[in-house]
Structure 1
Amino acid sequence: MTLRYLIEKEFKQLARNSFLPRLILLFPCMMMLIIPWAATLEIEDLRIVIIDNDHSPSSERLVHRIEASPYFKLTGLPDTYRDGLEAIEKDRADMLLEIPRGFEKEQVNGRPASALVAVNAVNGTKGGLGSSYLNQILAPAGNTSIRYLFNPHLEYKNYMVPALMTMLLVLLCGFLPALNVVGEKEAGTIEQINVTPVSRFTFILSKLLPYWLIGFIVLNLCMLLAWLVYGLTPSGNIFCIYIATIVFTFVVSGLGLVISNYSATMQQAMFVMWFCMLIFILMSGLFTPISSMPQWAQCITYANPLRYFMEIMRMVYLKGSSLTDILPQLGTLAIFATVLYLWAIVSYKKQQ
């Protein structure tokens, strides 16, 4: 009964807060509706100039294919290579293609026709992807057949949306409860609780349970938005997501309790959480694949719980993985949860 009244108190305090309920509802919606469109590695409308020295039907067809591609925007047809480079230097183009004389003749004779591509590589990612897109157009048709598994239309948003749900759970189920506990400590009410018959376990659980419930509600809201806005639904069993969410919630709430135990003020806790959040995001594979990181950075990612839950979300959403497939990640998250809660218990006792 004591736990029930404490949880009721938490919800009443949350309802009296004019800002936090709006944040809990609006923040997930803004993340799901804006970030997948803004934080993308897909490159479109690359400005390209083409120097056609052949002026043949084959070269004209190539120009039309590039112009029709959504990845390129034809901004000029200069006469010389020098003029094309000048367009890049003056930021009127991102890349140029020079089609040499005899381009069609080489193709007719069955020999591979060559062409020169120059790319502005100040932005290495943009330059690399742009040249890759152009090489696909330049490659002779019919030699290669490619099947894109799990994401046939190469939508980067499908890669981002499941990972963003992970970030929301970290904030709602990990950091907000921790700030709530630190707020009690800063206000001095936690000392009053410690001298009452309410056990420390009951008090902490009353702080965590409301945000766990809110986290699950927000997760379902995000999955609904993913379906309505992006047409993205889990290819696997949705209960695999719920099981993984329960385990991951224990992990992040345990981390939040550890931070709250070592923090005396809200400001101190927020700085520590910001530091953890920054490292988690950069080392989780949210934006870039972990396999593309240096070897030393890949080793660090093994200590990042977000890595494993993001893998689970993408596996279930895109690959249709079953519970058996995600067991290694679930086992690792369970170890994280055990270690963090033991740490939270020991550090809480030391602080008292």
Structure 2
Amino acid sequence: MRMLKFLLQKELRQIIRDPAIIRILFIMPMVQLLILPLAADYEIKNINLGVVDHDHTEYSRKLVNKVVASGYFRLKDYSPTFNQGLKAIELDKTDLILEIPAQFERSLVKENQASLFIAVDAINGVKAGLGGAYLQSIIQDYNQDVRMQWIQYPRYNPQPTIQVTYSDWYNPNMNYRVFMVPGILVMLVTMIGSSFASNNIVREKEMGTIEQINVSPIKKYQFILGKLIPFWMLALTVLTMGLVIARVVYGIVPLGSYFTIYVFAGIYLVAILGLGLLLSTYAQTQQQSMLVSFFVTMIFNLLSGLYTPIESMPGWAQMITRFNPVSYFIEVMRMVMLKGSGLSDIKFQMLAMLGVAVFFNGWAILNYRKRSG
């Protein structure tokens, strides 16, 4: 244990002496946590709308006004023909076109039905899909308003209707920052832990000090622990600062206990740092370790469920997420912060993360022993 103590002192002094590491560890993640949640929003707004109105009646004007008044659309083009409206899409001036045919009001009043045409620019698939869905919903609501105006009691017997009321559990105001901030914080902690750990042993190789360590009485597991523990402490510090920002800036107060978050985070960081150290035992240069670490963490983040629900992924991708430690931590963070879950509720995730930690760190120890003779 004495040798481990000396190794920890060496690692901490080496980190403190490098001001660039301190800036990257503490300043960059906090700036990202302040900026990313403001941009990460699942709700699409400010969709540029083009209108081609061949009817020019009161009904068509009310429809256009209702669409614009919804707050999701901005009227950017009002063309007399569809070809001119399509040119606005080609010039990236609008995202979709609403074409109102001639005789729209007449068909709606006399024939009790009318057709509309919607053309959507699908280059941005997410924006196109949601924009088209929003527009269809507004048109249906407009249709319902028109029919309600036509009903004159008792000439028409009012039909029975079913009124649906709903409430959103755990996030009643549907605030996306409450949903995104915990996931973004996990992503930042993961990137810091894996990238710095993956460079640790490689730095010793490039500096030539690895040979001195190999001939010293330091045991292999002590060497791995000496590389892991300092960044484990620093990553927990970054997590603490992120939780403070979440509370002070975004007003996110976990319904569960901070103790539960830190218990799982401690196990999770052992797993992620073990992965970084494993990559470091294979790499020969810091450039190699950084590129491989970036590639692995990028896959972990994209398949974590932060941006896309895991249930919406194809079957092979869902299978990969079962071995993705980031997905477990994001799930636990949301469970604790939004649902108030405790240790008993996350026992499956904790067991899975313990298995990942033992696997990566055990592999790192065995691989380092093999390469150092």
Q: Same fold (TM over 0.5)?
A: yes
Whether the 8 Å contact between 2:220 and 2:365 is mirrored in structure 1 is no
Select between 246-255 and 94-103 the one with higher mean Cα deviation: 94-103
**Partner-residue secondary structure (3-state), 1:326:** helix
**Partner-residue secondary structure (3-state), 1:50:** strand
Equivalent residue, structure 2, for 1:351: 371
Shift of 1:19: 0.9
Equivalent residue, structure 2, for 1:76: 77
Whether the 8 Å contact between 1:172 and 1:214 is mirrored in structure 2 is no
Which digits, 9 at most, give the CA deviation of each residue in 1:152-171, with x for residues without a partner? 44444333321222222223
Give the letter for the 2:127 counterpart: K
Whether the 8 Å contact between 2:52 and 2:97 is mirrored in structure 1 is yes
Aligned pair 1:138/2:126, yes or no? no
Aligned pair 1:222/2:258, yes or no? no
Unaligned runs of 5+ in 2: 145-161
Q: How many percent identity over aligned positions?
A: 42
**Partner-residue secondary structure (3-state), 1:77:** strand
Aligned pair 1:115/2:95, yes or no? no
Aligned partners of 2:165, 2:75: CA distance in 1, in Å? 27
2:283 to 260, 263, 266: 263
Aligned partners of 2:113, 2:14: CA distance in 1, in Å? 72
Give the letter for the 2:303 counterpart: M
User: How do 1:1-352 residues align onto structure 2 when only pairs under 5 Å count?
Assistant: 1-55=2-56, 57-100=58-101, 114-140=115-141, 145-352=165-372
Distance change (3 Å), C-alpha of 1:153 and 1:78: farther
Whether the 8 Å contact between 1:173 and 1:208 is mirrored in structure 2 is no
Distance change (3 Å), C-alpha of 1:53 and 1:230: farther
**Partner-residue secondary structure (3-state), 1:70:** coil
Aligned partners of 2:4, 2:113: CA distance in 1, in Å? 76
Which digits, 9 at most, give the CA deviation of each residue in 1:291-322, with x for residues without a partner? 22222222222222112111112222233333
Shift of 1:204: 2.5
Unaligned runs of 5+ in 1: none
Aligned partners of 2:111, 2:172: CA distance in 1, in Å? 32
Whether the 8 Å contact between 1:95 and 1:119 is mirrored in structure 2 is yes
Aligned partners of 1:117, 1:154: CA distance in 2, in Å? 29
What count of residue pairs does the alignment treat as equivalent?
352
Aligned partners of 1:122, 1:143: CA distance in 2, in Å? 37
Shift of 1:275: 2.0
Whether the 8 Å contact between 2:185 and 2:239 is mirrored in structure 1 is yes
**Partner-residue secondary structure (3-state), 1:341:** helix
Which digits, 9 at most, give the CA deviation of each residue in 1:82-138, with x for residues without a partner? 433332233221112234566667777996765322211121111001112222322
Aligned partners of 2:310, 2:366: CA distance in 1, in Å? 33
Distance change (3 Å), C-alpha of 1:159 and 1:18: same
**Partner-residue secondary structure (3-state), 2:97:** strand
Which digits, 9 at most, give the CA deviation of each residue in 1:213-267, with x for residues without a partner? 1111111111122223322232332222112101111111211221122223222
Distance change (3 Å), C-alpha of 1:54 and 1:229: farther
Shift of 1:190: 2.5
Aligned partners of 2:275, 2:208: CA distance in 1, in Å? 22
Distance change (3 Å), C-alpha of 1:67 and 1:340: same
Give the letter for the 1:225 counterpart: I
Distance change (3 Å), C-alpha of 1:232 and 1:68: farther
Give the letter for the 1:188 counterpart: G
Distance change (3 Å), C-alpha of 1:67 and 1:146: farther
Equivalent residue, structure 1, for 2:151: none
Provide TM-score, normalisation by structure 2. Answer: 0.84
Aligned partners of 1:307, 1:294: CA distance in 2, in Å? 16
**Partner-residue secondary structure (3-state), 2:51:** strand
Aligned partners of 2:119, 2:107: CA distance in 1, in Å? 21
Give the letter for the 1:46 counterpart: I
Provide TM-score, normalisation by structure 1. Answer: 0.88
Distance change (3 Å), C-alpha of 1:294 and 1:194: same
Give the letter for the 2:169 counterpart: L
Distance change (3 Å), C-alpha of 1:159 and 1:62: same
